Structure 1
Amino acid sequence: MTHDITYTTKTKQLIDSLKSVCANYGLGNDGNEFKIITQVFLYKFLNDKFRFEVKRLKPELADNKEFYQNLKNLYEKEDGQYELLMDLLDENVPQLKPHQLISHLYNNQNSEDFAKTFDDTLRDISTENASVFSIKSFSGAKDKLFDELSNYITDSSQKDDFCKALINKLFEFSFEESFEDYFTEKYDFFKDIFEYLVKDYNSDSGGKYAEYYTPNAVARIIADILVQGDVKKVRCYDPSVGSGSLLMSLAHNIGEDRCTIYSEDISQKSSTMLRLNLILNNLTHSIPNVIKTNTIAQPYYLEKQKFDYIVSNPPFKLDFSDFREDLDTDRFKERFFAGIPNVPKAKKESMAIYLLFIQHIMHSLNDTGKAAIVVPTGFITAQSGIEKKIRERLIDNGWLRGVVSMPSNIFASTGTNVSVIFIDKQAGQEKIVLMDASKLGETVKEGKNQRTVLTKGEEEKIVNTFSNKEAVLDLSVVVNADEIKSKNYSFSAGQYFEVKIEYVDITAEEFANKMEGFEVKLDALFKEGNKLDAEIQKQLKGLKYE
């Protein structure tokens, strides 16, 4: 725990120092600040990861003060030893050259045209490690790991100083606290970075980055319920991946070396965030499976792959009218079996795109596949339409494992009540768990917003109750398919709770005494009422017109 606190503190210090550099050069709260900080942070992380692995493979290089010079000497020998060392590195580790290290740039920061040297270094790292670290689009085109960061400075006279300032902050951090101590531990680096960094860009109840983040509690609950027993060599997929928090929790529960991550998302920002997440969580081997595409209109994996596990917090409402007609064709009929939402006359942005994602997920599971999908709670009780057709398919096929309705405001970015649907192709039609966890959690204030936070104990209660298929008063019911059909395929736990009237045993004499007491009280009340009626009549008669 002490290590975790130290790491968190140091991480925040590094991010704050990089923000300070951006602010000093006119980029504070600029649209490019986020890119600069995340990319520079990644460059630092890859440097330390490389240093850690090289020193592990070749302990004689381990002296921190002499590491750069020792590595440089090895690189300059033409005996093939450096190339052999690079071949021995794990695939999650970048292959760097001595002149690409922070130490080299720090030592040469006073050279002419330093900004170009800085940009060239990052570009070369991107090019030489593209096969592992690049993200490809639907068309197959690959992106860059790093941008030319000096180009974000419009005043050319400041470019050198800006790049020097960034390198100095990274070099200072190397001596204060390196990431190296944490590479041997299973620690979620990304969580602290993302929560701390993104909150500054998350104005207006979520803002532009809110779409990328699923609360840790929801991600943990989903992973703990989905992953049961010893799991090996499985394919995990998210068709609307965002930053990947759901996939990271799933991979941690399964084991990073026991699963392969696949993902699709239309957003370049989210693809970049996911890449950072995969690198920081020792899942670099899955970066080639990160696809930037429109999952609904141009699904990359639809005909290529079925999946063992699927998790998703899809966008609920979005205007997809531009390509809606393309979906209503024979090619997609099987995938969108329940139908495609119509274009409303007003508020096109309210189109229920999440209904397409649910159908896409059901289509993408293999014969033993399992899935968890975050949906607006209204989906579980809709009386007709696409929503009901989807629920009917889940029940009639025996695919519904259960539903958990979450507390209000568990997402900081939206007040929409949400539920999580758990699908299991082998669930059957008996012992379906419906849970109403809406009364759990503690309300905390975050700036102007309020959010509900589940305690660790409440998380465990949800997971254990669901996994053990327990019926708990006012929390959960265990039902079968026929019972759900009788309720018009409703997945709401509240509609199955029994109405209980508390009572106590009393004798006939006690009952008679109670009734006598009630009669006396009523008689007194009636008499008092008669007196009030008489007084009112008297007062009315005394009224005069003047």
Structure 2
Amino acid sequence: MSEEQKKMLEQQLWNIANTLRGKMNADEFRDYILGFIFYKYLAEKMEIYANSILKQDKIQFRNIQENTVKGKEYIEAIREEALETLGYFLKPSELFSEIAKRGSSDSNTFILEDLQKILINIQLSTMGTQSEEDFDNLFEDMDLNSTKLGKTPEARNTIIVKVLVHLDEIDFKLEHTELDVLGDAYEYLIGQFASGAGKKAGEFYTPQEVSKILAKLVTTGKNKLKSVYDPTCGSGSLLLRVAREVKDINNFYGQEMNRTTYNLARMNMILHGVHYRKFDIKQEDTLEHPQHLGLQAEAIVANPPFSANWSANPLFMSDDRFSQYGKLAPSSKADFAFVQHMIFHLAENGTMAIVLPHGVLFRGSAELHIRKYLIEQKNYLDAVIGLPANIFYGTSIPTCILVLKKCRETPDNVLFIDASKEFEKVKNQNILREEHINRIVDTYRNRVSVEKYSHLASLKEIEDNEYNLNIPRYVDSFEEEEEVDIQAVMQSIKELEAKRTNLDREINVFLAELGLVF
């Protein structure tokens, strides 16, 4: 698929999404359109798989007569295979194209009740199987009886049918397994919703260019990963971005506090072809109720909520994640609590990269104590990378990336990169282009000092700065301004004053001729 075709598909999907907008906010119609796309994906995947099983019988899955004895035998056999391989099951009459066809027929069939049953049946089909947790309540945010879709059942039916028919016309090319057309389009939609969601966007989406940097940092020198983990995984986009940088990942782990976003993350995983046995996404507060105890991940990435509140309960001083540091992160700023949590789950040969506000680099008290321990006692800090302001949705503050390793290849220094001035302004947002991303990643991988851009600081240098990691202390990016010729400026001012005096005289002459006084 060409870039132009890809953009056309993305625009088509966005136009269909806007069919649902009505009086709903971005959050609400996002849940409907992404849910319908996911249902279409599951149905098409089911049909392709069933047809592969039925190939030797020269039968098409959609043509099976469900109520005949023979039809029931076929369906039961396919159900067993599908639950093992796909993790779910749909009957021929429950396929997306079938329900769209019924809704658009001349008889104006009312499909809302059937559609709601189908979405429930997808979940019910997994009961008692290994995939049950992955499909549990996946469609709970799609209330087809919501008055936001229409005041009457008939109005709701009409709008839903319209969306289904438009979606049914789009070919997601799922037979071409080497293409991830739908996955890319899904990511595009999530990004579009994020750009319109303001501050809430930070709850579920990391801008793609930042995701790309984090993914490239943690996969440096690796072609395969045993595991990747995101303790604040949002929609799962960051985990999936890491997968693009290597040939294979055995297992994906994530935790997300927001229920709706947790559903979105599971959908995103399945839709990108990650097998249900290969991902483990949990819903809970990561700091207060961690769900992956014992996990040692080879790569960890995170874009946690900046300076969030957490309990900082003194009982956590006996929690293995925090106990060795001697102090907890402040209750009003959980940034270092996330760092400590991630380090605890980092494998000895692993790399972690986390996006944080600049305050973590220089704030005092408990945060200084934790910073000093990480550098002086553990020597885990590998790099500090300053990013431009206004690249995240919902906040304009500049941010930084901390890269940490338990076994560092260069234990004598820490790399500082100041990439804060390299961006392109697009409307109200600053954007990192490919050249900006590549420069950050190449500088990190080559560990080079570049004038006014990067610096390799010795541990002694950091100690001398009293473990203040503020980037300008290490990278001098000051640009001298051109000298101002005061005499030339004064002369220019005199000339302008003279011109103004002459103009005043000319205006007075014109006013006198009109009999007016200036």
Same fold per superposition (TM over 0.5)? yes
Q: 1:222 aligns with which of 211, 214, 222?
A: 214
Distance 1:279 1:260 in 2: 13
SS of match in other structure, 2:244: helix
Match of 1:533 in 2: none
Residue 213, structure 1, aligned to residue 194, structure 2: no
Q: 1:306 aligns with which of 286, 291, 296?
A: 296
Aligned length: 473
Distance 1:10 1:499 in 2: 43
Q: CA deviation at 1:412?
A: 3.1
Distance 2:149 2:30 in 1: 19
Distance 2:68 2:14 in 1: 32
Within 5 Å, which residues of 2 pair with 1:434-449?
Answer: 434-445=416-427
Residue 247, structure 1, aligned to residue 239, structure 2: yes
Deviations 1:228-287 (A, max 9, x none): 3344351211111112222111122124x4231111121112201211221222124267
Deviations 1:406-450 (A, max 9, x none): 1111213211211101111111522431111111111111xxxx2
Match of 2:143 in 1: 149
Q: Are the aligned partners of 1:338 and 1:390 in contact in 2 as well (CA < 8 Å)?
A: no
**C-alpha distance 128-329 of structure 1, shift in aligned 2 (>3 A):** same
**C-alpha distance 267-501 of structure 1, shift in aligned 2 (>3 A):** closer
Match of 1:99 in 2: 93
Match of 2:274 in 1: 283
Q: CA RMSD in A?
A: 3.5
Q: Are the aligned partners of 1:309 and 1:365 in contact in 2 as well (CA < 8 Å)?
A: yes
**C-alpha distance 438-12 of structure 1, shift in aligned 2 (>3 A):** same
Which residue type is aligned with residue 114 of structure 1? I
Q: Are the aligned partners of 2:381 and 2:414 in contact in 1 as well (CA < 8 Å)?
A: yes
Residue 195, structure 1, aligned to residue 186, structure 2: no
Match of 1:532 in 2: none
Match of 2:46 in 1: 50
Alignment gaps of 5+ in structure 1: 344-350, 503-520, 522-546
Match of 2:119 in 1: 122
Which residue type is aligned with residue 92 of structure 2? P
Structure 1 or 2, whichever has the larger Rg, is 1
Distance 1:155 1:401 in 2: 51
Q: Are the aligned partners of 2:250 and 2:278 in contact in 1 as well (CA < 8 Å)?
A: no
Alignment gaps of 5+ in structure 2: 481-486, 488-518
Q: Are the aligned partners of 1:115 and 1:160 in contact in 2 as well (CA < 8 Å)?
A: no
Within 5 Å, which residues of 2 pair with 1:78-477?
Answer: 80-86=73-79, 91-92=85-86, 94-109=88-103, 114-129=111-126, 131=129, 135=133, 142-146=136-140, 149-153=143-147, 158-160=152-154, 162-163=156-157, 165-180=159-174, 183-187=177-181, 188-200=184-196, 202=197, 206-255=198-247, 257-285=248-276, 289-302=280-293, 304-320=294-310, 323-325=311-313, 327-331=315-319, 334-335=322-323, 337-342=325-330, 351-427=332-408, 428-445=410-427, 450-477=428-455
**C-alpha distance 456-157 of structure 1, shift in aligned 2 (>3 A):** closer
Match of 1:531 in 2: none
Q: CA deviation at 1:216?
A: 0.9
Q: Are the aligned partners of 2:254 and 2:282 in contact in 1 as well (CA < 8 Å)?
A: yes
**C-alpha distance 193-498 of structure 1, shift in aligned 2 (>3 A):** closer
Distance 1:285 1:501 in 2: 53
SS of match in other structure, 2:287: coil
| Percent of matched pairs sharing the same residue | 21
Distance 1:436 1:157 in 2: 54
Distance 1:146 1:52 in 2: 26
Distance 1:107 1:215 in 2: 37
Deviations 1:86-112 (A, max 9, x none): 555584564221011123323444598
Which residue type is aligned with residue 116 of structure 1? E
